[in-house]
Amino acid sequence: MTSRQDLANAIRALSMDGVQKAKSGHPGAPMGMADIAEVLWRKFLKHNPSNPNWFNRDRFVLSNGHGSMLLYSLLHLSGYDLSIDDLKNFRQMGSKTPGHPEYGYAPGVETTTGPLGQGISNAVGMAIAEKNLASTFNTSKTNVIDHFTYVFLGDGCLMEGISHEACSLAGTLGLGKLIAFWDDNGISIDGEVEGWFSDDTVKRFESYGWQVIAGVDGHNSIEIENAINQARNNLSQPTLICCKTLIGFGSPNKAGTHDCHGAPLGEEEIKATKQNLNWQFGEFEIPAEIYKEWNAEATGEIKEQEWNKTLESYSQENKSLYAELKRRINNELPSQWNSTFDEWVRQLQNNPANIASRKASQNSIEFIAKMLPELTGGSADLAPSNLTTWSKSKALAKNDFSGNYIHYGVREFGMTAIINGISLHGGLIPFGATFLMFMEYARNALRMAALMKIQNIEVYTHDSIGLGEDGPTHQPIEQMANLRQTPNLVMWRPCDQVETAISWKNAIENKTNPTALIFSRQNLKQQNRNLNQLDNIAKGGYVLTDSDKTDLIIIATGSEVGLAVEASISLKSKGVNTRVVSMPSTNVFDSQSREYKDSVLLPNVKNRLAIEAGISDFWMKYVGLDGDVIGMNSFGESAPANKLFEHFGFTVENVVEVALNMIERNKK
């Protein structure tokens, strides 16, 4: 009969062999956590390898993503579409098994992990989504949303500050279906962590409001199983199970040392380890009886069919709730979405309002929330400044998860990673907010959203030196260029309430990219447009004002569009025929056809001037060597906004002077 030790050793063998064949990787953590994984995946995890996207499955996150061979081995053994050849192709070009788990590469990988601490933060988001959806759709008779979120994490995840941000909030919200397993092996790449990591982790998590199950032997199946049962029985607190493990378990000479953390064991050590574990099989060889014990296809299919029967009964008794749940699971917008939104945009254009784009954003949120109850907002503090609440917003609370708003506190990094988890879970459209300057705290999580190509809407206000007296610590300069140049990320910086509404519409509809919406603190003048111009906003850049003949093209975004229009009027009085191009999204504009882009920027016009209160260099690709940029080449200063704009050259007089000098230079 196959023992549980044999089943865990299958993980160890595959992990050792995969890392050795790739000649790189991390075998220690998979070998150390194999016993925990065997208990969780075979005794508790609700999943269906034949349908990895079954909505009511348990979510499993490997936060210590460097131990990716652990996850790949589990997926392969359980019956997912991940072959032994895929495992042999570990870390190779074009494989399903990259060095760290990548969302979308292999079935069953719930999120991209690797940057430590972000996986546990994603898991917090998944647990929030489960609890919110359960509050919305479950009835006194039927629970249609009912699953756990499990996460493995290591010392490195606990050292990263983001784990404090996310886990603190998880405790405050009482996420009882979040269960984390701490791989307490005391080893990192540098060696024994006690020299630089002496936190009392038990007290730390107890202070957050977590249930902590300490002192679990990570190699004792009975203790692990008892701990999981205890965790599952406490639905009012998230649980941290502290598992004492031996990194590289089974290796005679490298177990318990950093030698097995981030490098292959070596062929001789693998041979000795397999002998020590009484594993009598060759490289990548798994006996049929072990495959049979591990395979979860039959049990997974039964669990999903049981849920489908529950859902069928639910659909008969709760028709409207079922229709809404189905729409959300399918990630569909209401049928009237486009027509209703387009009519609203026309009303905005016909009823001008000179308001800050942050206020226009709040108005957009108010309008969208009426049509999309799945819109779930939040802010890292600053909601009165970001203007992210609306008339029907209701904060999630420990004992009432029926709301649609999350107060993240001063946790920008944690917020952004949590939103990634909410988005990955499905059923909600999440957004978060902070000042644009503080996207720096959150940048790596936003980069992960871009890497995964998932929807994550970030509202960044106070977008320039226009922030004013708070000074250069709060005034963003290089951040917009940073966002625009991040692959897969779409950034919008609208110039008035109409462009703001269009940017929000684009963000809601874009399911395969994160979106950064950049808004002003100060009021902006609404621009005049015809219907054709209104339609062209969605193309990212369009002709806002024009002349019969074009001597000069001015390109601007956000608060500088109004300046460009004023300057064009002054230039016309001096005989310079000027076209003003508003370019709220360079990312979207760049994706348009060559024909359209040329119709806007006119390749034969050399005189081009870009104006934006951000770093200048970005705009050189649009103005070329013959053009010029009025932008920022230094940090800001502390002063009222109008004084700052004057000081840094964002005035009609300076725009006219720079334009005339450029035209004269190009004549020569």
Would the annotation count 358 as a binding residue? yes
E strands, 111-262, where? 149-154, 178-184, 187-188, 191-192, 211-217, 239-244
CA distance 215 to 224: 10
Name the catalytic one among 412, 458, 499, 612: 412
CA distance 73 to 132: 32
CA distance 538 to 500: 11
Provide the b/e sequence for 446-456 (b: ≥16 CB within 10 Å).
bbbbbbbebbb
Would the annotation count 474 as a binding residue? yes
Would the annotation count 232 as a binding residue? no
Would the annotation count 219 as a binding residue? no
Would the annotation count 443 as a binding residue? no
Provide the b/e sequence for 83-94 (b: ≥16 CB within 10 Å).
eeebbbbbbeee
Would the annotation count 66 as a binding residue? yes
Would the annotation count 413 as a binding residue? no
CA distance 285 to 264: 18
Which secondary-structure segment (H or E) carries 457? strand 457-461
Active site residue 412: yes
Would the annotation count 187 as a binding residue? yes
Would the annotation count 82 as a binding residue? no
Integer CA distances (angstroms), 5 to 184, 250, 284, 605, in order? 20, 11, 17, 73
Would the annotation count 365 as a binding residue? no
Would the annotation count 261 as a binding residue? yes
CA distance 593 to 279: 59
Contacts of 480 (CB under 8 A, 6+ apart): 436, 463, 491, 493, 518, 612, 614, 615, 618
Residue 250, judged by CB atoms within 10 A of its CB (0-12, 13-18, 19+), counts as buried
Phi, psi of 580 (to 5 degrees): -105, 125
Would the annotation count 114 as a binding residue? yes
Q: Which of 427, 325, 429, 440 is nearest to 377 (CA)?
A: 429
Would the annotation count 462 as a binding residue? yes
Integer CA distances (angstroms), 364 to 52, 220, 530, in order? 35, 55, 21
Would the annotation count 185 as a binding residue? yes
Beta partners for residue 206, in sequence order: none
Would the annotation count 425 as a binding residue? no
Binding residue positions for substrate: 26, 261, 358, 385, 462, 470, 474, 521
Q: Which residues are annotated as part of the binding site for thiamine diphosphate?
A: 66, 114-116, 156, 185, 261, 438
Active site residues: 412
Binding residues: 26, 66, 114-116, 155-156, 185, 187, 261, 358, 385, 438, 462, 470, 474, 521
Binding residue numbers for Mg(2+): 155, 185, 187
